[in-house]
Structure 1
């Protein structure tokens, strides 16, 4: 068996969904991942110990600008929001030139995802929901118990699956969301995102928290995929305007800001990205 020596590859760590460096959700990006196996990518993602690590590759679809593989510490995702924005930011910063004016086209497990420059802030087109609709009564009761709240306080609960299998939970206020002290063990395998309207901060429309049992993070600082699904749900049901800002990560000392807009039937999810570490990695 021939041993293949590792080579130096450009590597960035990017802070996503915050205009303040080190107050958003960090992402590791290997800029040139050609030749790496899925096993090697998974091993490196486990080592970085971040919520996600991504790998930029040449596209296989001629319409795409690049192909992206997204790994948590334990599994590969077909799509995720903050890895999409942070990877597009890194690809552009590394000299990438989009084939189409005004859009970067990312190829990933969920298909082609468009990313646009929205006044200096990147935004991705939320992929369609592959599962959408109210959860059953048993699951709703499990969700309420896991959040340690009476079931009557859960105004609505819906599947919001666009890659990750999120359940969205609507509470009556942002204060209720911030006060949650969930029982993560009671969630079982459920991934739960909770959202409530903000009435005290004029710059924020909703407060969001997302919980991922079994993940090293447990509570995610800022979650693009959940916010994309929640936008379909909230705007479609008339509970949110066509443009709004969601805060996330507050209880973790972060200042995540997710900028959501609906345009021509599409949901766009945007946020600021800042490169915090730039160098190389041996892989």
Structure 2
């Protein structure tokens, strides 16, 4: 069996920045265990398998794998795959089936190899648990307890399909100073989620309101350059504790700077009568390469 695949960098307009994604096409006959093996082979934060949709009105059914597990939803695979399918099929509304539900991504072609996609979250973010003790969080990140939190905002756990421990820190100096203490990570974050999203507001980056770093157990604990599902979770916390008023709010999160993979995640929330009624994620993506997978014993 031979399967075409693409590598696309997501949440960036520039190749070799953002978060790389592998997208494997024509994957209907690939068994689940082999999908997991292929994702481990690519060893990227996520690999997407594009299958035929269950509903003929939709464009594709997506299965999303990290090197160690399948996910019900992820932001950068949704954006990257929507851009690719929009470019290949010359469509602007890409209806995607994921385990979390159906997602409609609106795409824009920038040129032959790059585009932009945005989509509304199929599941609004909500608080799903309490964060570990601040002293333990600080120790796991190599920070001082007083660097955790800003204003009235403190660590908590939110999910828009994938739960994240959201950790506000005092400033960008604290964000840059993080040094992971890998020993005992599971003991600290062994509850609802071991995925940690650290963020802080910024005021000196053009068109950027927040900076963030994500630390995820992708087979082994490491940093992720751009994490759409974490940004989706963050929408819930910001809607509840940071943004006030009514109507639409757009903001951008810079991530991956410390890794040399600058990424820009666009987010949007809508507040009505003080309640979150809409949240969305978007960004740019650019094709890096294409190839063929040769599966089988020969």
- Could you say what secondary structure the match of 1:274 adopts? strand
2:125–2:232 contact (8 Å) kept in structure 1: no
2:291 matches 1:279? yes
Superposed displacement of residue 110, structure 1: 0.8
Q: Write the distance in 2 (CA, Å) between the matches of 1:141 and 1:62.
A: 52
Partner of 2:19: 25
State the Cα deviation string for residues 66-103 of structure 1 (Å, max 9, x = none): 10000111111111110111111122223264xxxx53
Unaligned runs of 5+ in 2: 110-114, 272-276
Superposed displacement of residue 129, structure 1: 4.8
1:185–1:213 contact (8 Å) kept in structure 2: no
Task: Quickly say closer, same or farther: Cα 1:130–1:248, change in 2 above 3 A.
Answer: closer
1:206 corresponds to which of 204, 207, 210: 210
Unaligned runs of 5+ in 1: 1-5
Root-mean-square deviation over aligned CA pairs: 2.3
Task: Quickly say closer, same or farther: Cα 1:183–1:158, change in 2 above 3 A.
Answer: same
Partner of 1:153: 147
State the Cα deviation string for residues 163-218 of structure 1 (Å, max 9, x = none): 33211111122232122112133321421100101122233211110001463460
State the Cα deviation string for residues 12-50 of structure 1 (Å, max 9, x = none): 000000111111100011111011110111111111111
Partner of 2:54: 60
1:105–1:113 contact (8 Å) kept in structure 2: yes
1:258 corresponds to which of 258, 261, 265: 265
The TM-score, its normalising length taken from structure 2, stands at: 0.83
2:112 matches 1:112? no
Q: Write the distance in 2 (CA, Å) between the matches of 1:173 and 1:209.
A: 13
Partner of 1:245: 252
Higher mean displacement: 237-246 or 224-233:
237-246
Partner of 2:240: 236
1:129–1:160 contact (8 Å) kept in structure 2: no
- Could you say what secondary structure the match of 1:185 adopts? coil
Superposed displacement of residue 254, structure 1: 1.1
2:84 corresponds to which of 81, 85, 90: 90
1:135 corresponds to which of 108, 114, 130: 130
2:200 matches 1:196? yes
Q: Write the distance in 2 (CA, Å) between the matches of 1:31 and 1:223.
A: 23
The TM-score, its normalising length taken from structure 1, stands at: 0.87
In the alignment of these two chains, the number of paired residues is 272
Task: Quickly say closer, same or farther: Cα 1:187–1:175, change in 2 above 3 A.
Answer: same
- Could you say what secondary structure the match of 2:184 adopts? helix
Superposed displacement of residue 140, structure 1: 4.0
Runs of 4+ displaced beyond 6 Å: none
Task: Quickly say closer, same or farther: Cα 1:214–1:27, change in 2 above 3 A.
Answer: closer
Q: Write the distance in 2 (CA, Å) between the matches of 1:162 and 1:262.
A: 13
